[in-house]
A and B are shown apart, each in its own frame.
Chain A
Amino acid sequence: MSYFFSKEHEWVKVSGTTGTVGISEHAAHELGDVTFVELPQVGKVVKQFGGLAAIESVKAASDIYAPVSGKVIAINETLENTPEVVNESAEESGWICVIEMSDPSEVEQLMTKEAYDAYLKGL
């Protein structure tokens, strides 16, 4: 299983044809204390880089974009009442949803962990 990252700071952890999606530790840190996550509906069909969810922190409200196309098959309901889990563990327990990917080759449009770290240094 490997992580891929988008320029908008989402990650997807790919296992076969499903991808678990969240926001990067960098993004969580930049947002500050997360106070609300608008989870997508299970069954929602999303396009790569299209709108997926929304997140609010003490500082700002931001959109979360889908790093891959497909259908949402699971959501992390613990974030409804404890969105701070995103700050505590953005790239593990703070996952947002699972997408059944319609085109696994789309990960080629994303960055590996190493490439993403280099991308952050250039920001």
Chain B
Amino acid sequence: MEQLKSTPLTSHHRALGALMAPFGGWDMPIQYEGIIAEHRACRDQAALFDICHMGEFIFSGDIVKDGLEDVFTFSVASIPVGRSKYGFLLNEAGGIIDDLIVFRLAEDKAMIVVNAATADNDFEVIGSRLKGGGLANVTGVTGKLDLQGPHSRVVMERLFGAAGSNLPYFKFTTAKILGFEAIVSRTGYTGELGYEIFIPNEKIVELWELILSDDRVKPAGLGSRDLLRLEVGYSLYGSDLSETITPLEAGLESFVNFDKEFIGKGALLSQKQSGLTRVKVPFKVGSRRSPRHDYTIMSAGENVGIVTSGAFSPMLGCGIGIGFVPPNLATPGTPLTICHDKVSMEAEVCNLPFFKGGSLRS
């Protein structure tokens, strides 16, 4: 087991009394005050997350000629400079090696933001698929803070003036923050209005303290982040997505462009033709019980699938979850039973997102 990596903020998290745990090879804060209080802070006001563990790569070169265009399930060449796009890196079988976002920094430059646990492998795979150009792993020198919540725009305006605060969704800009070149992006993982700020690691502590000096902002850990993303139906790599799950099974075909080439395309096309044997299914529990990862999904007494994410939703007041079942059981309204040991809970297939009232597009 490799030693856990630390972000520039690890000692600050401990000083704030955070409960720390390993996540994707990093020593990360799970909660400070409490998962539900931090969830509430993000839905009602603003929350600040240390996301320095995520991986960042910089590609420089000709996007088409050097092969970046064919690496992902979406076209990088058609992303306008200043915009970003979400999609997948697939294996030959169409399984998801990672879900990621590409930021088009310039005509000949892109930043690829990937999950922490998969970063090293992603870097190798992407590198091996390029025909030219350069790919640099800047994870170790790039810090990332996410400011999320309905008040995040006014906080950004107060701290940094116009820089980035009026960005539309999935647009980003470069701005001088604390004297350094930063990328401010109108993206996030919570379903709320929010910003992701990339800045060199050496400025992360200063930026963290500056943003938290605003009374409207609370520090939030990965526990609340997981709950926030599940309430809006975002998938979590390693739980809902993996190398043995395809984007079609995961209900994410809209992030796959079949008009271009990419590794895994043939497998996805043949899966489309033969039909899916399992699909992602969102469900609500009829009580406050929480479904959890790896719980069994039953229908008419038969074991029909598995829960990949589940929690108690503070916004809905009931248990919610995502799992995989045969397509005929994935229609909204279908009753399912979630089982684990002696616990069983009645659930019903629903639509995504579970929580619809977020400030995401405000």
Q: Which A residues contact B (CB, under 8 angstroms)? A: 32-33, 35-36, 54, 56, 58-59, 61, 83-84, 87
Cα-based distance from A59 to B311 in the complex (angstroms): 9
How many inter-chain contacts with C-beta < 8 Å in the A-B complex? 38
The prevalent SS among residues of B at the interface is mixed
Q: Please name all residues of chain A whose beta carbon is closer than 8 Å to the beta carbon of B312 when the two chains form the complex.
A: 35-36, 56, 58
Q: Please name all residues of chain A whose beta carbon is closer than 8 Å to the beta carbon of B343 when the two chains form the complex.
A: 54, 61
A33 touches B35 (CB 8 A): yes
Please, could you name 8 A-B residue pairs with CB atoms under 8 Å apart, sorted by A? A33-B34, A35-B36, A35-B290, A56-B289, A56-B290, A58-B290, A61-B290, A61-B340
Query: Number of residues in B with C-beta < 8 Å to the partner?
Result: 16
Residue of B nearest to A87 (CB): B34
Given A32-B34, A32-B35, A33-B36, does the pair A58, B288 have CB atoms closer than 8 Å? no
Residue of B nearest to A51 (CB): B342
A83 touches B288 (CB 8 A): yes
Q: Please name all residues of chain B whose beta carbon is closer than 8 Å to the beta carbon of A36 when the two chains form the complex.
A: 287-290, 312
Given A32-B34, A58-B290, A59-B35, 4 further pairs, Cβ under 8 A = A33-B35, A36-B288, A36-B312, A58-B311
B31 touches A32 (CB 8 A): yes
Q: Please name all residues of chain A whose beta carbon is closer than 8 Å to the beta carbon of B223 when the two chains form the complex.
A: 32, 58-59
Cα-based distance from A93 to B34 in the complex (angstroms): 20
B227 contacts partner chain A, Cβ-Cβ < 8 Å = yes
CB distance from B37 to the nearest CB of A (A): 8
CB distance from A39 to the nearest CB of B (A): 12
Residue of A nearest to B341 (CB): A61
Q: Please name all residues of chain B whose beta carbon is closer than 8 Å to the beta carbon of A35 when the two chains form the complex.
A: 36, 288, 290, 312
Q: Please name all residues of chain B whose beta carbon is closer than 8 Å to the beta carbon of A61 when the two chains form the complex.
A: 290, 292, 340, 343
Cα-based distance from A56 to B343 in the complex (angstroms): 11
Residue of A nearest to B311 (CB): A58
Cα-based distance from A84 to B35 in the complex (angstroms): 12
B289-311: which have CB < 8 Å to A? 289-290, 292, 311
Residue of A nearest to B227 (CB): A58
Residue of B nearest to A83 (CB): B288
